[in-house]
Amino acid sequence: MRSWRYIGPALAGCATALSGLAGCGDSGPVAPATEAGVSDEPLDAEATADPAWFRESAAPRGLDFRLEARLAETPRLPEIVPGGGAALDFDDDGWLDLYLLQATGAGGNRLFRNLGEGRFVDVTEGSGLADGGFGMGVATDDYDGDGDVDLFVANFGADRLFRNDGDGRFVDVTDEAGVGHPGFGASAAFFDADGDGDPDLYVTNYVDWSDATELECRNRTGRLDYCPPARYDAPTADVFYRNDGDGTFTDVSEESGIASALGTGLGVVAVDFDGDGRRDVFVANDGMPDHLWVNQGDLRFSEQAMQRGCDRDLSGVAKAGMGVSSEDVDDDGDPDLIVCNLGGESDSFYLNDGGRFLDATNRSGLGSASRHFTRFGLGFVDFDNDGILDLYAANGRVGASDDPDATDPYAEPDLLLRGDGRRYLPVRPAGGTDPTPERTSRGAIFGDFDNDGGQDVVVLDLGGPVRFLRNVMPTRGGWLTVDVRDEAGAPAIGAEVRAEIDGRTVTRRIRTDSSYLTAQDPRAHFGLGGLDSIPSLEITWPDGSTRILRDVEADRILRVDAGDRGDESASAGVR
C-alpha cells in the first residue's frame, strides 16, 4: 500500500445540497476542498524534464482519418462530445487493429488492419463496418461465443451491433439482437453481470436531446457557444441488456434497477469494486452526481455512489464527469477509480478501501495538475515500464476560449503525469510529445500496437486527423504482456492476472472498457523495471478457475489459453 493512500475517516459522499448543476461550460465551478495538511499549489516547478515519451506517427503508419462532427452553422450539443474508437484484434493475428467512429453520419466509420509493428491499412471496404450512424462510443467482446471479437457502436441515434464472422467481414445484427436503442448513446461496456458465461451489455445515455430542443447559449465574449447539459434539464436513463445466449439480448433496464436513476452518462467502467465476485458499474455523469451500480446478483443493481463515497468531490460538488479509468493503483488488490472533469475542476481520484472510496485527489498531486484542462479520454498506464502506473489525459475545451485569434478556440494540450509511487508529476513536454500540439481531443485508446512492450496512445481530435502516439521512451524498463483467452479463444474479459514483482503483488484485469467512448487493448501489461523475470504469475478466470506460472521471463507477450489449469512452468501451455 503506497504512501499516497489517504488514511482517515471514510467519506461516504456529501449531503450538501447543490444550488444548481455544474455543466459542460468552462465557467469556473467552486474549487474542491483540499485534504487537511496537503498543499494544492501548482506543480509546474516539479514537472519532470524528459525526452519526448511519444512520437506522432499516424500518417506514415497508414492511419488516414479525420473526425468531423458539425451538424449546423450554429452550435448543436452532439457536435462537441464525439470521439470514439476501439483497439481490437479482429482477425486474431496477434496485432491490434483499430476501428474509428465518424460523427457525420452514414459511411464514415473506418476499420484499419494492423499489418505488423503498428503499420496499418484501411480495410473498411467490404468489411460491413462503414455505416454506423453518428458515432459516439464502442464496446468490444465475443458476445456470441464463437471466438471472434464483435463490435457494438453507441450512436446519437439508433445503436448498432456488428457480428464478426471471422473472415474480415462484419454483419449488422442489430435488429435480430434487439440492441438498437434510439437515444443519445455514449460509452458502453460488455461484461458478464449474472455469471452465466455470456457478456451482457451496459450503454450510457447522455441527454434527451433533439434539434427542436436546442438552446441558444453565448460565452463571455457574446459568441454563440455550446450549452452545458444542465441547461436542457433532460437527463435520461442508461440501458442494460441481458445476453440470452442465443444471439439475442433482452432489455432489462427496468427489472435490474438501472432505469431507476436518471443521469447524463458519458464514461463507464464495469469492475468488481467490493470484492464479492460480481462486477459493478460506475458511470461518470456530466454535471450530476456520478452513479455506482452495485451488483446484487440475479441481474439486480443498487445505486450506492453516495453511500460509498464516489458520487461527488469532498466539497459536495457534482463535477462534469467525462472519462473514467480503474486500476489497482496502490497494489492492495482493490480496483481504484479516477474520473476526469471540466477545466476549473480537478480530477476525482478515489482509492478503494474494501468497497468504500477515499478521495485522494490532492494528496496524490492530481488536484492542481489536472484542474487547468478539460479532460476526456484518460487512462492509468505504465508507459515507462517502471512498475508504477502513469496517467494520460486527452484534453479539449467544451466552451470557446476568449482568444479572438485562436485557430481552434477549444484546443488544449494533452496531459501526461508520471507516477512515482507517492504522487503524480506533470511531464514536460506537455502530453509527452515534442512539439506539443493543442487539439480538441476526446477519446484516447491505449494499447501496444507494435508489440514492442511500450504502451501507445491513439487520440481522436474533433475537426482534426487521428493521432497515433507511438511510445519511443529510450529508458523504458522490462515488461510482460499477458494475453488471457477463454474457452472459445476470445479475450477472457473479467479474468484477473496477479504478478509477483519485486516483493509486490500487482493486479491487472482483462478488460476493454474505461477512458472515454473507447475500447482498449484487452491484454494485461506489467512494467518490470530492471527485472528479467518474475517468480510467479497467477491467472484467475471469471469462473474461478486458476493457473499459476513460475519463473516467467520478461520482454515477451505470453498467451495463456483456457484449458489445463494448475501450477506449472511458464513454458507449458502458452504461446
pLDDT in tens, 233-286: 999 999 999 999 999 999 999 999 999 999 999 999 999 999 999 999 999 999
Q: Which helix (H) or strand (E) holds 306?
A: helix 305-308
pLDDT, residue 47, reads 55
CA distance 238 to 224: 30
Taking the whole predicted model, whether its pTM rises above 0.95 is answered as no
Beta-bridge mates of residue 357: 352
Sign of the alpha-carbon dihedral angle for 177, 178, 180, 184: negative
pLDDT band at 565 (very low <50, low <70, confident <90, very high): low
**In 450-565, which ranges are E strands?**
456-461, 467-471, 478-484, 496-501, 504-509, 518-519, 524-529, 533-540, 546-553, 556-560
pLDDT at 122 over 80: yes
CA distance 341 to 265: 13
pLDDT-above-90 percentage for the chain: 77
pLDDT, residue 1, reads 39
- pLDDT mean over 324-332: 96
Question: What is residue 525's three-state secondary structure?
Answer: strand
> Which of 1-10, 259-268, 302-311, 534-543 has the lowest average pLDDT?
1-10
pLDDT, residue 111, reads 98
pLDDT, residue 317, reads 75
CA distance 166 to 34: 52
Burial label for 49, CB within 10 Å (0-12, 13-18, 19+), is exposed
pLDDT at 36 over 50: no
pLDDT, residue 422, reads 86
- pLDDT mean over 360-368: 87
pLDDT, residue 342, reads 78
pLDDT, residue 35, reads 35
CA distance 75 to 64: 26
Q: Which helix (H) or strand (E) holds 370?
A: helix 366-370
pLDDT band at 28 (very low <50, low <70, confident <90, very high): very low
pLDDT, residue 96, reads 98
Task: Read off the pLDDT of residues 490-526 as tens digits, 9 standing for 90 and up.
Answer: 999 999 999 999 999 999 999 999 999 999 999 999 9
Which region, left, alpha or beta, applies to residue 166 given φ > 0 means left and ψ of -120 to 50 means alpha?
left
Task: Read off the pLDDT of residues 429-487 as tens digits, 9 standing for 90 and up.
Answer: 999 999 888 999 999 999 999 999 999 999 999 999 999 999 999 999 999 999 999 99
- pLDDT mean over 133-146: 96
pLDDT at 361 over 50: yes
Helix, strand, coil percentages for the chain (3-state, nearest 5): 5, 40, 55
CA distance 12 to 75: 38
Block residue for cell numbers 457525420: 104
pLDDT, residue 402, reads 83
Computed on alpha carbons and rounded to an integer, the radius of gyration of the chain in Å comes to 22
**360: which 3 cell numbers?**
485522494
- pLDDT mean over 423-434: 92
pLDDT, residue 564, reads 59
pLDDT, residue 39, reads 36
pLDDT, residue 371, reads 76
pLDDT, residue 106, reads 66
pLDDT band at 21 (very low <50, low <70, confident <90, very high): very low
Task: Read off the pLDDT of residues 82-111 as tens digits, 9 standing for 90 and up.
Answer: 999 999 999 999 999 999 999 987 679 999
